[in-house]
Chain A
Amino acid sequence: LAKTTQPISMDSYEGQEVNITCSHNNIATNDYITWYQQFPSQGPRFIIQGYKTKVTNEVASLFIPADRKSSTLSLPRVSLSDTAVYYCLVGTRSGAGSYQLTFGKGTKLSVIP
């Protein structure tokens, strides 16, 4: 299983761009990188997924360097509603093909007015 390391917490002011970096030094060739967002008292919500280079959707961008040993989630112009825990996951496949997700502790992002 590829282990991930990300900052425990980050603070940002409203309107700023936030970059959260995740390290995954032992990522496997077939692993994808996925980010989930979790608000208090809710289940995690898929944000973005990528394999290499850059992926962008309406919510965020994901930057993955060529060696794929790290990735950076970029949230443009954050608002108070972006206050949440952000989890970086690397694709996990069990022997039974369950594709269970392995979460770390995540990064708690606090957006300040």
Chain B
Amino acid sequence: DTGVSQDPRHKITKRGQNVTFRCDPISEHNRLYWYRQTLGQGPEFLTYFQNEAQLEKSRLLSDRFSAERPKGSFSTLEIQRTEQGDSAMYLCACRGTEEGTVTDTQYFGPGTRLTVL
């Protein structure tokens, strides 16, 4: 257990429906990431928050995707009008402040597996 929780662990939805996932990071970690992982592939970066500010988005994050991190604590990832191609594992990760280093150790949650029918 890394201390990062995600809810739900599994979500099955029909195409066209909206879904929302939640991530609760390690409380003192101010940096939060969302990744997407499809079968047989490594995780792909989606977006990054530092505290409540969303500082970076990947091109993978289409306009149907939106992420928030109100108050700089938990984060939500919403997908609107889901498509079958959205089926994947959505992973949340967090990282504490390590100023002056170029290393990066991220702590991942167990992920939310989305299946779009």
A43 adjacent to B111 (CB under 8 Å): yes
Main secondary structure of the interface of A (DSSP, over half): loop
> Would you give the 0/1 interface string for B55-76, flagging 1 where the beta carbon is closer than 8 Å to chain A?
1100000000000000000000
B91 adjacent to A101 (CB under 8 Å): no
Given contacts A42-B111, A96-B48, A98-B56, contact A34 B43 (CB under 8 A): no
Task: Tell which of A42, A49, A93, A102 touches B105, judged by Cβ atoms closer than 8 Å.
Answer: A49
B43 adjacent to A31 (CB under 8 Å): no
Task: Tell which of A91, A92, A93, A105 touches B40, judged by Cβ atoms closer than 8 Å.
Answer: A105
B42 adjacent to A106 (CB under 8 Å): yes
Given contacts A32-B103, A42-B110, A91-B102, contact A96 B42 (CB under 8 A): no
Which residues from 88 to 113 on chain A have a C-beta closer than 8 Å to any C-beta of chain B? Answer: 91-94, 96-106
Task: Tell which of B4, B56, B110, B113 touches A100, judged by Cβ atoms closer than 8 Å.
Answer: B56
A43 adjacent to B105 (CB under 8 Å): no
Q: Which residues of A contact B (CB under 8 A)?
A: 30-32, 34, 41-46, 49, 87, 91-94, 96-106
* 14 further interface pairs, Cβ-Cβ under 8 Å (given A41-B113, A42-B108, A87-B42): A31-B102, A34-B103, A34-B104, A43-B2, A93-B102, A94-B48, A96-B48, A98-B56, A100-B33, A100-B45, A101-B35, A101-B104, A101-B106, A106-B42
